[in-house]
Amino acid sequence: MTIRSYELIKRLPTVEEHRTLWEAVGWGSVNTEMSGPSLARSLYGVVILCSGEIAGMGRVIGDGAMYYYIQDVAVLPAHQGEGLGKRIMDSLLAYVESHCAGAGFVGLFASHGKDTFYERFGFSNHAPGMTGMFKILDT
């Protein structure tokens, strides 16, 4: 049994790290011309490295005052089950809680089958009173 050492670093993923994780978890291919500016406009991010290589990431986007959105929480499949997703979420939520001066809203979209993971952090489905919706622009 190999014991792995993980390091959580408070920084955004690079475009290449983002692409690697995005594709590894099955989200399809990412347009790196768009992801670079998107990453740069994030409020906060973390990466987890294992022996200097990317193993996980997550970031916070939003207006920095009342509305926050958890985005791109991903862990390489070979590193899943090691508690990395929890470490990422704990760091992202600590950032939001320290920057939100009052009542705020933290949203996210969960990948299929990952609802219970996010429920552990207080996220819940508020249907039918509220419905999460989005539109995909394909240009």
pLDDT at 126 over 70: yes
Q: What angle do CA 115, 25, 50 make, to 5 degrees?
A: 105
In a domain, 139, yes or no: no
Q: Measure the CA–CA gap between 54 and 21, rounded to whole angstroms.
A: 8
Domain count for the chain? 1
Domain residues for 79?
Answer: 6-119
Which pLDDT does position 15 carry in this prediction?
97
Residue 51: inside a domain: yes
Q: What is the pLDDT of residues 67-122, one digit of tens each?
A: 999 999 999 999 999 999 999 999 999 999 998 877 788 988 888 778 888 889 88
In a domain, 133, yes or no: no
Does residue 129 sit within a domain?
no
CATH code (residue 39): 3.40.630.30
